[in-house]
Chains A and B, each alone.
Chain A
Amino acid sequence: MDFNDTAEEAKFRKEAYEWLKANADLKEGPKDGWRASSEEEGLEQVKVWQNKLYESGWACMHWPKEFGGRESTPIERVIWGQEISKFKVPGGYLEIGQGMAGPVMMMYATEEQKARHLPPMAKGEEIWCQLFSEPGAGSDLAGLKTKSVLEGDTWTINGQKIWTSGAHFSDWGILVTRSDPTAPKHKGLTYFFLDMKSPGVEVRPIKQISGGANFNEVYFTDVKIPDSQRLGAVGDGWKVSLTTLMNERLAVGDASGPDFQEAFTLARGQDLNGSLAIENGAVREKLADWYCQQSGLKFAKYRNISALSRGETPGPQSSITKIVSGNKLQEIANFGMDLMDSAGIVRSDEPDADQSMYQYGFYGAAGIRIAGGTDEILKNIISEQVLGMPQDMRADKGIPFNEIPSSNK
Chain B
Amino acid sequence: MNFEFSAEQTQLKDIARKFLEKEDSVKRARTVLEGETSYDEELWKLIAEMGFTATAIPEKYDGLGLGYLELCVIAEELGRSLAPTPFSSSVYLATEFLLKLGSEEVKQNYLPKLASGSLIGTFAHTEGNTSPTEANITCEVKGNLINGTKIVVPDGDVADFAIVTAKEGNDVGLFLVDLSADGVEVVNQQTLDPSRSHASLTFKGAEAITLGSTNEGWDNLQNILDRAAVLFAFEQLGGAEASMDMAKEYAMGRFAFGRSIASFQAIKHKLADMYIAVELARSNCYYGAWALSTDAPELATAAATSRVSASQAFNECSKENIQTHGGMGFTWEFDCHLYYRRCRQLAANIGSQSIWKDKLISSLERANQV
Which residue numbers of A lie inside 8 Å of B, CB to CB?
1-5, 9, 75, 264-265, 268, 278, 281, 284-285, 287-289, 291-293, 295-300, 302-303, 305-307, 309-310, 317, 320, 323-324, 376, 378-380, 382-384, 386-387, 389-393
Q: Does any Cβ of A come within 8 Å of B31's Cβ? A: no
Q: A1-B2, A291-B360, A291-B364 are in contact. Are A296 and B280 (CB under 8 A)?
A: yes
Q: Are A379 and B287 in touch, CB under 8 angstroms? A: no
Q: Are B284 and A382 in touch, CB under 8 angstroms? A: no
Q: Are B364 and A264 in touch, CB under 8 angstroms? A: yes
Q: Mark B283-300, 1 if CB is under 8 A from A, else 0.
A: 110110110011000000
- Smallest Cβ-Cβ distance to A75: which chain B residue: B1
For the complex, give the distance between the alpha carbons of A265 and B260 in Å: 48
For the complex, give the distance between the alpha carbons of A379 and B4 in Å: 26
Q: A303-B4, A379-B269 are in contact. Are A390 and B263 (CB under 8 A)?
A: yes
Q: Are B1 and A9 in touch, CB under 8 angstroms? A: yes
Q: A293-B280, A383-B271, A389-B251 are in contact. Are A299 and B287 (CB under 8 A)?
A: yes
Q: Are B263 and A299 in touch, CB under 8 angstroms? A: no
Q: Are B271 and A292 in touch, CB under 8 angstroms? A: no
Q: Which residues of A contact B309 (CB under 8 A)?
A: 292, 295-296
- Smallest Cβ-Cβ distance to B287: which chain A residue: A299
Q: Are B287 and A295 in touch, CB under 8 angstroms? A: yes
For the complex, give the distance between the alpha carbons of A298 and B281 in Å: 12
What distance in Å separates the Cβ of A279 from its nearest Cβ neighbour in chain B?
10
CB-contact partner of B276 in A2, A285, A320, under 8 A? A320
Q: Are B269 and A306 in touch, CB under 8 angstroms? A: no
Q: Which residues of B contact A285 (CB under 8 A)?
A: 354, 357
Q: List 29 A-B contacts (CB under 8 A).
A: A1-B5, A1-B6, A1-B293, A2-B1, A2-B2, A3-B1, A3-B3, A265-B370, A289-B308, A291-B305, A292-B284, A292-B308, A292-B309, A295-B305, A296-B309, A297-B280, A297-B283, A300-B279, A302-B3, A303-B3, A303-B286, A305-B1, A324-B280, A379-B269, A382-B271, A387-B248, A389-B268, A393-B259, A393-B263
What distance in Å separates the Cβ of A280 from its nearest Cβ neighbour in chain B?
11
Q: Which residues of A contact B130 (CB under 8 A)?
A: none
Q: Which residues of A contact B308 (CB under 8 A)?
A: 288-289, 292
For the complex, give the distance between the alpha carbons of A278 and B361 in Å: 9
For the complex, give the distance between the alpha carbons of A391 and B259 in Å: 11
CB-contacts of B39-86 with A (<8 A)? 69
Q: A1-B69, A380-B268 are in contact. Are A386 and B281 (CB under 8 A)?
A: no
CB-contact partner of B4 in A1, A4, A324, under 8 A? A1
What distance in Å separates the Cβ of A255 from its nearest Cβ neighbour in chain B?
15
What distance in Å separates the Cβ of A75 from its nearest Cβ neighbour in chain B?
8
Q: Are A284 and B370 in touch, CB under 8 angstroms? A: no
- Smallest Cβ-Cβ distance to A299: which chain B residue: B283
Q: Which residues of B contact A298 (CB under 8 A)?
A: 283
- Smallest Cβ-Cβ distance to A2: which chain B residue: B2
Q: A278-B361, A387-B272, A389-B268 are in contact. Are A4 and B262 (CB under 8 A)?
A: no
For the complex, give the distance between the alpha carbons of A295 and B251 in Å: 31
Q: A292-B312, A387-B248 are in contact. Are A303 and B283 (CB under 8 A)?
A: yes
Q: A285-B354, A307-B4, A383-B268 are in contact. Are A390 and B262 (CB under 8 A)?
A: yes
- Smallest Cβ-Cβ distance to B285: which chain A residue: A299
- Smallest Cβ-Cβ distance to A312: which chain B residue: B4
For the complex, give the distance between the alpha carbons of A287 and B357 in Å: 9
For the complex, give the distance between the alpha carbons of A113 and B6 in Å: 46
Q: Are B3 and A306 in touch, CB under 8 angstroms? A: yes
Q: Are A287 and B268 in touch, CB under 8 angstroms? A: no
Q: Are B3 and A4 in touch, CB under 8 angstroms? A: no
Q: Which residues of A contact B354 (CB under 8 A)?
A: 281, 285
Q: Are B283 and A284 in touch, CB under 8 angstroms? A: no
* 18 more A-B residue pairs beyond the given contacts A288-B361, A299-B286, A386-B275, with a C-beta to C-beta distance below 8 A: A1-B4, A2-B1, A3-B1, A268-B370, A281-B354, A281-B358, A287-B361, A292-B284, A296-B280, A296-B281, A299-B283, A306-B1, A320-B279, A380-B268, A382-B271, A389-B267, A390-B252, A390-B263
What distance in Å separates the Cβ of A296 from its nearest Cβ neighbour in chain B?
3
- Smallest Cβ-Cβ distance to A79: which chain B residue: B1
Q: Are A292 and B305 in touch, CB under 8 angstroms? A: yes
For the complex, give the distance between the alpha carbons of A265 and B358 in Å: 16
CB-contact partner of B358 in A284, A293, A309, under 8 A? A284
- Smallest Cβ-Cβ distance to B280: which chain A residue: A296
Q: Does any Cβ of A come within 8 Å of B273's Cβ? A: yes
Q: Are B1 and A4 in touch, CB under 8 angstroms? A: yes
Q: Which residues of A contact B275 (CB under 8 A)?
A: 320, 382-383, 386-387
For the complex, give the distance between the alpha carbons of A386 and B244 in Å: 13
What distance in Å separates the Cβ of B306 from its nearest Cβ neighbour in chain A?
9
CB-contacts of B276-332 with A (<8 A)? 276, 279-284, 286-287, 289-290, 293-294, 304-305, 308-309, 312
For the complex, give the distance between the alpha carbons of A288 and B267 in Å: 28
What distance in Å separates the Cβ of B9 from its nearest Cβ neighbour in chain A?
9
Q: Which residues of A contact B259 (CB under 8 A)?
A: 390, 393
For the complex, give the distance between the alpha carbons of A107 and B192 in Å: 60
CB-contacts of B156-196 with A (<8 A)? none
Q: Which residues of B contact A3 (CB under 8 A)?
A: 1-3, 290
What distance in Å separates the Cβ of A53 from its nearest Cβ neighbour in chain B?
24
Most buried by B among A281, A379, A392: A379
What distance in Å separates the Cβ of A148 from its nearest Cβ neighbour in chain B?
33
Q: Which residues of A contact B251 (CB under 8 A)?
A: 389
CB-contact partner of B260 in A307, A383, A390, under 8 A? A390
For the complex, give the distance between the alpha carbons of A194 and B359 in Å: 57
Q: Are B276 and A382 in touch, CB under 8 angstroms? A: yes
Q: Which residues of A contact B294 (CB under 8 A)?
A: 1-2
Q: Which residues of B contact A379 (CB under 8 A)?
A: 268-269, 272-273
Q: Which residues of A contact B290 (CB under 8 A)?
A: 1-3
CB-contact partner of A288 in B276, B281, B360, B370, under 8 A? B360
Q: Does any Cβ of A come within 8 Å of B133's Cβ? A: no
Q: Are A306 and B364 in touch, CB under 8 angstroms? A: no
Q: Are B284 and A317 in touch, CB under 8 angstroms? A: no
Q: Which residues of B contact A310 (CB under 8 A)?
A: 2, 4
For the complex, give the distance between the alpha carbons of A299 and B370 in Å: 26
Q: Are B248 and A389 in touch, CB under 8 angstroms? A: yes
For the complex, give the distance between the alpha carbons of A370 and B199 in Å: 53
What distance in Å separates the Cβ of A2 from its nearest Cβ neighbour in chain B?
5
Q: Which residues of B contact A386 (CB under 8 A)?
A: 275
Q: Mark B1-43, 1 if CB is under 8 A from A, else 0.
A: 1111110000000000000000000000000000000000000
Most buried by A among B286, B293, B358: B286
For the complex, give the distance between the alpha carbons of A268 and B367 in Å: 14
Q: Are B272 and A383 in touch, CB under 8 angstroms? A: yes
Q: Does any Cβ of A come within 8 Å of B333's Cβ? A: no
Q: Which residues of A contact B252 (CB under 8 A)?
A: 389-390
For the complex, give the distance between the alpha carbons of A123 and B194 in Å: 67
Q: Which residues of A contact B69 (CB under 8 A)?
A: 1
Q: Which residues of A contact B3 (CB under 8 A)?
A: 1-3, 299, 302-303, 305-306
Q: Which residues of A contact B293 (CB under 8 A)?
A: 1
Q: Which residues of A contact B262 (CB under 8 A)?
A: 389-390
